[in-house]
């Protein structure tokens, strides 16, 4: 081809691309690498939020910012540096630190987004889920499934802080957001030891006859004493020569499950508690989908991709999709984890790779 011919072709090509653009068309051959990469390329980045940094800011908000109708919830979201300006921990998950001052009420509302609370510190707030008052104490996991009314009330003279996890980014990305305000006045002022959900569903292995399956767990409170006992038993059994009781040597884990189906406690969010015996180093794991971890107790090191985080009580970190995670226990360490894996499983996109230790 002569140079003039080549120039002529190039001109025609440029004209073609310009016309694609004006017609709202994009040719695949110009974008394939980014459109369909060989493996996930998340925009979200591994990141650590230290409890020692977050807590004082939550406390200052408690003094300066009222909860209630205007502000609705005094929740402070983790914003992933790879998703700048967005209040999202990962592309699918919202994680926030929620502060409720003494005697304060966060009024009732409901939304299509699914929520849970995990309590790292404090007690005596209760959250009311569809008219069922549920006490919140350290180590407890409390659920507010999609479209359930929920309100929070602090009946004490001490402030309380907990972790909120929701599927806000996912639901927003799917254009499935619905929201309604409830009554401004508290629906109940009683704080029973055990919620109705626990009285009906909180007996291991015993399903009340006549209750249908539900997509999300009707047991809306998982108490620390049970979680702790389950993890302790796994590690004890391991030392008693039942190695299959644990995930891997020195690493126990439980998944909070829906007693009607045995599946995840929530339709869109996986919730788990992990315990590593002192000195344990986990095999590297890669998972499709993203996760947020919070240290409940203890110290250690979390390596996410090439980032190394020294972690201690309350610290929160993010593992984006297909990033390798290795956990090392300083002393014994307990970690709460939540992820979007149930969504990937429902879509046939779930995958986990566990390397050698
Ligand atoms: O407690 O109802 O962190 O609706 C974000 C949205 C908490 C809640 C959040 C919410 C709530
Ligand atoms: Fe809410």
Residue located nearest, by CA, to atom 1 of ligand 1: 73
Q: What is the pLDDT of residue 330?
A: 95
Q: pLDDT class for 5, splitting at 50, 70, 90?
A: confident
Q: Supply the DSSP symbol for 267.
A: S
12-16, 95-99, 154-158, 245-249: lowest mean pLDDT where?
A: 154-158
Beta strands in 184-299 (DSSP E): 221-222, 251-255, 270-276, 285-287, 291-297
pLDDT for residue 62 is more than 60: yes
Q: What is the pLDDT of residue 187?
A: 66
* 7, burial (CB in 10 Å: exposed 0-12, middle 13-18, buried 19+): exposed
Determine the atom of ligand 1 nearest the C-alpha atom of 96. Answer: 3
Determine the atom of ligand 1 nearest the C-alpha atom of 152. Answer: 1
Cα torsion angle, 235, 236, 237, 239, sign:
positive
- The contacts of residue 167 (CB under 8 Å, 6+ apart) are 92, 93, 94, 113, 114, 268, 269, 340
Residue located nearest, by CA, to atom 5 of ligand 1: 75
Q: pLDDT class for 125, splitting at 50, 70, 90?
A: confident
Q: Are 216 and 263 in contact (CB under 8 A)?
A: no
- Measured from CB, residues less than 6 Å from any atom of ligand 1 are 73, 75, 96, 98, 115, 150, 164, 166
Q: Supply the DSSP symbol for 132.
A: E
Determine the atom of ligand 1 nearest the C-alpha atom of 127. Answer: 1
Q: What is the pLDDT of residues 297-322, one digit of tens each?
A: 999 999 999 999 999 999 999 999 99
Distance 116 CA to ligand 2 centre (A): 9
Q: What is the DSSP string of 91-102?
A: SS-EEEEEEE-T
Cα torsion angle, 355, 353, 87, 35, sign:
positive
Residue located nearest, by CA, to atom 10 of ligand 1: 73
Q: What is the pLDDT of residues 177-227, one digit of tens each?
A: 999 999 877 666 677 889 999 999 999 999 999 999 999 999 999 999 999
Closest ligand to residue 168's CA: 1
Helix, strand counts (H, E) of the chain: 7, 22
pTM: 0.95
Edge-to-edge strand order for the sheet containing 115-121?
A: 75-77, 94-100, 160-166, 115-121, 141-144, 221-222
Determine the atom of ligand 1 nearest the C-alpha atom of 98. Answer: 3
Distance 113 CA to ligand 2 centre (A): 8
What domains sit in the chain, N to C, each tagged with a CATH number?
A: 47-183+196-203+213-354 (2.60.120.10)
- The contacts of residue 25 (CB under 8 Å, 6+ apart) are none
Q: Are 94 and 77 in contact (CB under 8 A)?
A: yes
Alpha-carbon Rg for the chain, nearest whole angstrom, is 24
Where residue 9 falls (left for φ over 0; alpha for ψ -120 to 50; beta otherwise) is alpha
């Amino acid at each position: 081809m002569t140079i003039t011919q080549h120039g002529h072709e190039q001109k025609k090509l440029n004209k073609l691309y310009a016309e694609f653009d004006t017609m709202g068309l994009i040719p695949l051959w110009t974008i394939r690498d980014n459109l369909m990469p060989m493996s996930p390329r998340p925009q979200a980045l591994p990141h650590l939020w230290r409890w020692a940094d977050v807590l004082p800011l939550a406390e200052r908000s408690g003094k300066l910012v009222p909860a209630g109708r205007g502000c609705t919830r005094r929740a402070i979201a983790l914003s992933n540096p790879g998703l700048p300006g967005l209040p999202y921990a990962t592309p699918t998950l919202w994680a926030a630190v929620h502060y409720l001052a003494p005697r304060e009420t966060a009024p009732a509302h409901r939304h299509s987004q699914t929520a849970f609370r995990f309590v790292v510190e404090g007690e005596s707030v209760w959250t009311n889920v569809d008219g069922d008052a549920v006490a919140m104490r350290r180590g407890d996991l409390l659920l507010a499934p999609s479209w359930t009314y929920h309100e929070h009330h602090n009946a004490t003279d001490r402030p309380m802080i907990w972790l909120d996890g929701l599927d806000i980014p996912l639901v927003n990305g799917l254009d499935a957001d619905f929201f309604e305000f409830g009554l401004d006045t508290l629906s109940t002022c009683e704080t029973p030891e055990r919620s109705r959900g626990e009285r009906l569903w909180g007996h291991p292995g015993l399903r009340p006859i006549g209750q249908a399956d539900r997509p999300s767990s009707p047991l809306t409170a998982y108490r620390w004493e049970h979680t702790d006992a389950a993890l302790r038993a796994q590690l004890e059994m391991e030392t008693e020569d039942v190695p299959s009781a644990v995930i891997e040597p020195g690493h126990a884990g439980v998944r909070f499950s829906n007693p009607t189906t045995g599946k995840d406690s929530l339709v869109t969010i996986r919730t788990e508690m992990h315990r590593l015996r002192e000195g344990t180093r986990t095999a590297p794991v890669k998972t499709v989908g993203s996760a947020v971890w919070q240290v409940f107790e203890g110290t250690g090191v979390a390596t996410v991709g090439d980032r190394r985080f020294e972690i201690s009580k309350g610290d929160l970190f993010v593992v984006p999709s297909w990033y390798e995670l290795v956990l090392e226990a300083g002393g014994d360490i307990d970690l709460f984890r939540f992820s979007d894996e149930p969504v990937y499983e429902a879509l046939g996109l779930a995958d986990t790779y566990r390397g050698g230790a």
